[in-house]
Amino acid sequence: MQNFAVLRKAAACCSCILFSVVCLPAQRTTSRENQVKAVFLFNFTQFIEWPASAFNSPDAPFIIGVIGNDPFGNYLDETVAGEKVMNHPLVIQRYKDLGELQTCHMLFIGQEDPQKIKTILDVLNRRHTLTVSDYKNFAYSGGMIRFYTQENKTRLQINLSIAKAAELNISSKLLRVAEIID
Amino acid sequence: MLSAQKNGPFSPRELKKLSVEELMNIEVTSVSKSPEKLTEVASAIQVITNEDIRRSTVTRLPEALSLAPNLQVAQSNSHDWGITARGFNGAPFANNTLADKLLVLIDGRSVYTPLFGGVFWDAQNVLLEDVDRIEVVSGPGGTLWGANAVNGVINIISKNARETQGWYASAAGGSFLRDYAGVRYGGHVDTNFFFRVYGQRFDQNSTTWIDSTESHDAWHMTQGGFRMDYVPGNSNTFSFQGDFYGGMADTGNTIINGQDVLGKWTHRFSENANLSLQVYFDRTWRDLTASDFSEQLSTYDIDLQHHFPIGSNNQVLWGAGYRMMNDEVENSISLTFTPAERRLQLFNGFVQDRIMLVDQELYLTLGTKILHNDYSGFELQPSVRLTCTPSPEHTIWAAVSRAVRTPARFDADETTPFITTRNGEFDSEKVVAYEIGYRIRPVQYISFSIAAFYNEYDDLRSINLNDAPPPALLFANDQQAKSWGLEFSGNAVLTKWWRLRGGYTFLDKRFTAKSPAVFSGSDLFEAIDPHHQALLQSIMDLPGNLQLDITGRYVDMLPGLPSVSPQISAYTTFNARLAWIFREFEFSAAGQNLAGKRHGEFGSREIPRSFYLKGTFRF
């Protein structure tokens, strides 16, 4: 009997390992580039200060919105799961188009169409929303943070004056590693 | 915390632990696309990251290498180490060890000396804060890396100036490390032009003899340097860096100084095609005042590498290089090189093709290096490597390669009253290495790697009795050896606040003399290595911004070589560090070699248990 128990345990262990070996690759749909960007979005919540007036209550959720193409998949959700900024739990919302757009504290714009981007930025004008995108001229056309790739590594362009106008206070730790556009 | 170049997926948990600088340092496309990484896919590579170093008690480069479980690292006195992979740590000779089968590159600059084919570790210092990672490849790197990469390659890679922006200042004081001060400032001129300058100085106290009397090998070293990185567009990168240093050891007995500058240009044609050109100059000088011996080595080096695809299944990498080494010695009575001044030239070329046999799963890498040196003429170093990646979590690889250690001045030019080489005729030492390895990531936070090897060496250096003295002894190529071993390493992120890394290495070998004239003890003169060694590093974040890090090390006994090196007992020792982070400040207390009052690692000196306090500021 004793032996059987040991054997069962061993079998259970083996199947656990097998399961993880077989199943883990299937979950991996987000490219490394987008994994890094997802974690950057999370880091922005830690290195940027939002004014208290951006929240309805001290424990209201901090909303990260994704509009247009969502390159992150579940990875972004896994990244922010259980995380908080001050007392605000992090929540992800996805908007198919402008019609669904709600108040959010950070918005990733998965768009390449300059006209659509301009419309989104116009809608957000004067709100405390950090805007982030991969779009080439983003930081030159009213956006705040643009991701780009150089030497195979992720880089940031930050338009500081637009962020300041939205009363977002960006830490020097982040500014130091970014290209500043004014 | 993790290698920016690692294979396989990152978990959100892993990435969130990184600083923004580290996050920016992650290569966003997979390893196999980057040309430098091709070589390493099918090899026993282990990586020491900046975080691994920071979360240890390490204060100098050779100590940092003890964090690689696949290296044999043994400290012989306050300033010298014997460091090798897969064995062959030669006898401690004139305080230095004769380990001569390892190639060591600091940002692409070779730091081995043609004087004895090894490394003067006292002169190799870097600002550890700015080291991105140290890649340690055990096994021959002959095809790409040139001569001397017989048993392994150590690649010390510093951060791009862009990744070291701002101030870093650190000061420490303690019992063995008497004092340390280091400062770096990184700034930028433009959004694509970055620079940094640094300086550091340390005083290290003396070790003791076995009878616990002081051995008078205290030393100090002052070093400074700079690095500039310029990225004018997406296709070109330029970097320029330099260092200078000076120090003194053994109460003024040894004086060393040196300077180096290196420039590198990389042009990217496309994602899979690039060209890089590197040029450097290095001058290093040492004076052993008591024995009236000095050496000045000036090295001029130029290297070109070109990487491009042919079709979708072939990745070709080829290159060529030229190195000129001017070695001038001032001979003493006991140590004499003839001629005193040597101009050594080294030409090399290599080509490698990585062929995809089965889509994304099976790769065959064929390559060879051809080089010409002044002592042994042309040398061929081919290799065949096969890599199988059935899923991103598993890599199985196998390799057969040939590598050579070209003669050093110690082998060919030495003319002392006791030993010489007949007519200066010394041939290169050769190895044929068979390797097999497996890397696995069973779950996202845990990875293991295991490698096994079998090496056949021929024409190894021997000490022969001279049938026509004087001198009484001769250097010859009359030894053969077989060595075999196993290298295991692992990395486990257990919880959000606790990570373990470590490994175990087994090594055994057998020497055979090819001639009855070979002096007994010749084998130990070439190789004094432990059979077993193990390393475990625990990295823990505690509440209240505290960090508790412990590194334990076990090294098996080393055999003694009468009148050269005593037998060293097996030892287990550990280092511990407790740090408190407060805003931009980090305060730490560290203890090294805590298990005993002192212990021997190599030779007749013993390393004491020691403590230091350190304060660091990063802004």
Question: CB-based burial of residue B147 (10 Å sphere; 0-12 exposed, 13-18 middle, 19+ buried)?
Answer: buried
Helix (H, G, I), strand (E, B) or coil at B146: coil
Mutation target for B interface from A76, A151, A154: give the one with most B CBs within 10 A.
Answer: A151
User: B2, B15, B33, B618: best mutation site toward chain A, by most A Cβ within 10 Å?
Assistant: B15
Give the nearest partner residue to A43 out of B20, B162, B391, using CB atoms: B20
Can you give B585-617 as a three-state secondary structure string? EEEEEEEECCCCCEEECCCCEEEECEEEEEEEE
Which residues from B are below 8 Å from A23, CB to CB? none
Q: Do B28 and A36 touch (CB under 8 A)?
A: yes
Residue B131 near residue B105 (C-beta atoms within 8 A): no
B12, B29, B444: residue with CB nearest A79: B12
Nearest C-alpha in B relative to A149: B28
Query: Would you state the pLDDT for residue B35?
Result: 38
Q: Which residues pair with B568 in a beta bridge?
A: B558
Contact between B442 and A20 using a beta-carbon 8 Å cutoff: yes
How do strand B394-405 and strand B429-443 relate by DSSP bridges? antiparallel
Nearest CA in chain A to B267: A151
Please answer whether residues B314 and B354 qualify as being in contact, where contact means their C-beta atoms are separated by less than 8 angstroms: yes
Alpha helices for B306-346 (secondary structure H): none
Instruction: Report the distance separating Cα B567 and Cα B168, nearest Å.
Output: 43
Q: Write down the pLDDT at residue B2.
A: 42
Q: What is the value of ipTM here, to two decimals?
A: 0.74
Mark yes or no for CB contact B443/A78 under 8 Å: no
Residue of chain B minimizing CA distance to A20: B443
Which helix (H) or strand (E) segment is A12 a member of? helix A2-27
Q: Shortest CB distance from B9 goes to which of A28, A43, A150?
A: A28
Note the pLDDT tens digit of each residue in B497-542.
899 999 999 999 999 999 999 988 899 999 999 999 999 999 999 9
B28 → closest Cβ in A33, A81, A180: A33
User: With an 8 Å Cβ cutoff, is A20 touching chain B?
Assistant: yes
Q: In chain A, what residues touch B163 (CB-CB under 8 Å)?
A: 177
Name every chain B residue with its beta carbon within 8 A of the beta carbon of A156: 24
> Residue B94: what pLDDT?
59
CA–CA separation, A173 vs B583, rounded Å? 12
- Nearest partner of B39 among B466, B499, B401, judged by Cα: B401
Contacts of B23 in chain A (CB under 8 A): 36, 39-40, 43, 154
Which DSSP category does B272 fall into?
A: T
Beta bridge partners of B371: B348, B379
User: Which residues of B have a CB under 8 Å from any CB of A?
Assistant: 9-12, 15-16, 18, 20-21, 23-30, 34, 162-163, 165-166, 191, 231, 234, 237, 391-394, 442-444
The pLDDT value recorded for residue B210 is 87
Q: Are B411 and B420 in contact (CB under 8 A)?
A: no
Which residues on B lie below 8 Å from A20 (Cβ)? 442-443
> How far apart are alpha carbons A31 and B392 in whole angstroms?
13
Q: Which residues of A touch B25 (CB under 8 A)?
A: 153
User: pLDDT: is B73 or A99 the higher one?
Assistant: B73
DSSP secondary structure string, B29-51?
S-GGGSHHHHHHHTSEEEEEEHH
A17 Cβ under 8 Å from any chain B Cβ: yes
Backbone angles phi, psi at B11, to 5 degrees: -85, 155
Closest-CA distance, B442 to chain A, in angstroms, reads: 6
Q: List the domain boundaries for chain B.
A: 12-490+505-537+552-618
CA nearest to A38 within chain B: B12
Rounded to 5 degrees, φ, ψ at B535 are -140, 140
- Rounded Cα distance between B289 and B268, Å, is 49
Residue range B95-137, pLDDT digits in tens = 667 889 999 999 999 998 999 899 999 999 999 999 988 988 8
CB spacing of A36 vs B15 below 8 angstroms:
yes
DSSP B462-528: EEEE-SSPSSSEEEEEEEEEEEEEEEEEEEEEEETTEEEEEEEEEEEEEEEESSTTBPTTHHHHH--
Between β-strands A62-68 and A88-95, what pairing exists: parallel, antiparallel or unpaired? parallel
CATH code of the domain made up of B12-490+505-537+552-618: 2.40.170.20
Q: Name every chain B residue with its beta carbon within 8 A of the beta carbon of A64.
A: none
* pLDDT, greater one: B80 or A101: B80
Task: Report strand pairing: A145-150 vs B219-230.
Answer: unpaired
Low-confidence ranges of chain B (pLDDT < 70): 1-9, 27-41, 93-96, 142-143, 145-147, 252, 444
Cβ pair A130, A108 in contact under 8 A:
no
The reply to whether residue A20 touches residue B23, judged by beta carbons under 8 angstroms, is: no
Under CATH, what is the fold of the domain A32-181? Rossmann fold (3.40.50)
Chain-chain contact of A155 with B24 (C-beta, under 8 angstroms): yes
CA-based nearest distance B118→chain A, Å: 34
Query: What per-residue confidence (pLDDT) applies to B89?
Result: 92
Q: Is the pLDDT score of A28 beyond 50?
A: no
Closest Cβ–Cβ partner in A25, A78, A156 for B393: A25
Say how many CB pairs under 8 Å bridge A and B.
Answer: 87
Q: pLDDT of A128-159, one tens digit each?
A: 999 999 988 899 888 999 998 877 788 899 99
Collapsed DSSP state (helix, strand, coil) of residue A123? helix
Report d(CA A90, CA A66) in Å as an integer.
13
- How many of the other CB atoms lie within 10 Å of CB of B585? 12
A residues 132..161 contacting B (CB < 8 A): 149-156
| Residue keyed to tokens 């250097």 | B475
**What are the backbone dihedrals phi and psi of residue B202, each rounded to the nearest 5 degrees, phi first?**
-145, 155
Answer whether B392 sits within 8 Å of A153, measured CB to CB: no
Distance, in Å, from the CA atom of B246 to the CA atom of B223, rounded to the nearest integer, reads 7
**Is A17's pLDDT higher than 60?**
no
Q: Nearest residue on chain A to B584, judged by CA atoms?
A: A173
Q: Which residue intervals of B66-204 are DSSP H helices?
A: 142-145
Distance CA B56, CA A91 (A): 37
Nearest Cβ partner for A25 among B15, B166, B392: B392
- Of the candidates A35, A152, A173, the beta carbon closest to that of B20 is on A173
Q: What kind and span of H or E run contains A76?
A: helix A74-80
Taking an 8 Å cut-off on Cβ atoms, the answer to whether B23 and A36 are in contact is yes
What does the pLDDT read at residue B186?
Answer: 95
Residue of A nearest to B391 (CA): A25
Question: Are the Cβ atoms of A39 and B162 closer than 8 angstroms?
Answer: no
The confidence score (pLDDT) of residue B93 equals: 67
Chain B residues with CB under 8 Å of A77 CB are: none
Nearest-CA distance from B110 to chain A in Å?
Answer: 25
First to last CA, chain B: 20
Nearest-CA distance from B264 to chain A in Å?
15
Q: Spell out a b/e string for B53-92, using b for 16 or more CB atoms within 10 Å of the CB, else e.
A: bbbbbbbbbbbbbbbbbbbbbbbbbbbbbbbbbbbbbbbb
Mean pLDDT of chain A: 81
Q: What is the pTM of this model?
A: 0.78
Q: Which residue of A has its CA nearest to B271?
A: A152
Q: Measured between alpha carbons, how far is B138 from B145 in angstroms, rounded to an integer?
A: 13
Domain ranges of chain A: 1-29, 32-181
What is the residue type of A31?
Answer: S
